[in-house]
Structure 1
Amino acid sequence: MLGEFRRTAVLVPFDEFGSLWTSDFGGVRWICAFSDEEALARFAVARKEAGREWAYRTVLGARLLDVMVPMLPGPGGVALDAGSADGVVFPPVAGVVPDEVAVDLGGTGAGTR
């Protein structure tokens, strides 16, 4: 699953401040990504925000894990299709994110800002 995600372009919506949409859960900041527009639309409906425009960018999964997660201000990962029965998380652990931000290797997850 990880290899497929790394090779796949996913949709990452922007929040009201123009940043990538993230959610904090369990001490981890999760970048929310979606496999397609339908998955993003279901997320919008679940949030009761289907009436607004959802701007998004298409990003390779590898870029999210290798470049964007280390830029987060703490432990971070990617949540694919958040809120759906088929959702998957890619946590801040070795083999998923760069070693310097992998919390299981003693990384701080503090990012590289």
Structure 2
Amino acid sequence: MELTAEIAAYRAGTGDPGRLVGEFRRAVLLVPLADDSAGGLMSAVSGGIRWLYAFTDEEAFARFVEARGEAAREWPYLAILGARLVDAVVPEVDGPAGIAVNVADEGGSMLFPPVAGIVPDGCAVDLRAVGDGEAA
């Protein structure tokens, strides 16, 4: 099953969290580049978490652009595996970071928060080192 189908199943209450995360990790996602001079990835901060925007396909990305009222300009993006996004990019973000997939799709969006099982343990906000590295 592809990521959008897993998201729909999960939102309907019939999905499996493990399958959802697995499809997310295998999916090639489109991540818009920030339009500032820093040259990073487009994101927003909410609740103390930096959410990187990612889209499952060009149509979902286009809905986001339309919702922002910015369809007239060019939108450069990076195509990246979900696994690479969480395993290599999230650890480079200053502070907790998660992935917001298809944010303009009211019934098809999904947040992948910075928790164990989604991001590397060292970036997971629900884990903290205790003694010999056990989770609290």
Structure 1: runs of 5 or more not aligned = 108-113
Please name the residue that 1:88 is paired with: 110
For 1:91 and 1:57, the matched residues in 2 are separated by 20
Structure 2: runs of 5 or more not aligned = 1-19, 130-136
Structure whose residues are more often strand by fraction: 1
Root mean square deviation of aligned Cα? 1.1
2:51 to 3, 7, 30: 30
* Higher relative contact order structure (alpha carbons within 8 Å, sequence separation ≥ 6): 1
- State how many pairs are aligned: 107
1:98 to 120, 124, 128: 120
For 1:83 and 1:23, the matched residues in 2 are separated by 14
Please name the residue that 1:20 is paired with: 41
- What's the CA shift string for 1:12-68, capped at 9, x where partnerless? 011112311111111100110000111111001111111110001100000011111
Q: Percent identity?
A: 52
Within a 5 Å distance, the mapping from 1:2-81 to structure 2 comes to 2-17=21-36, 18-81=39-102
- Does structure 1 retain, via aligned residues, the 8 Å contact 2:54–2:100? yes
Q: Which runs of 4+ in 1 moved over 4 A?
A: none
1:88 maps to a residue whose letter is M
Q: TM-score if structure 2 supplies the norm length?
A: 0.76
For 1:69 and 1:23, the matched residues in 2 are separated by 14
For 1:29 and 1:3, the matched residues in 2 are separated by 22
**Secondary structure, aligned partner of 2:126:** helix
Shift, 1:106, TM fit: 2.3
Q: Which has the larger radius of gyration?
A: 2
For 2:97 and 2:31, the matched residues in 1 are separated by 15
1:8 maps to a residue whose letter is A
For 1:24 and 1:58, the matched residues in 2 are separated by 22
Q: TM-score if structure 1 supplies the norm length?
A: 0.90
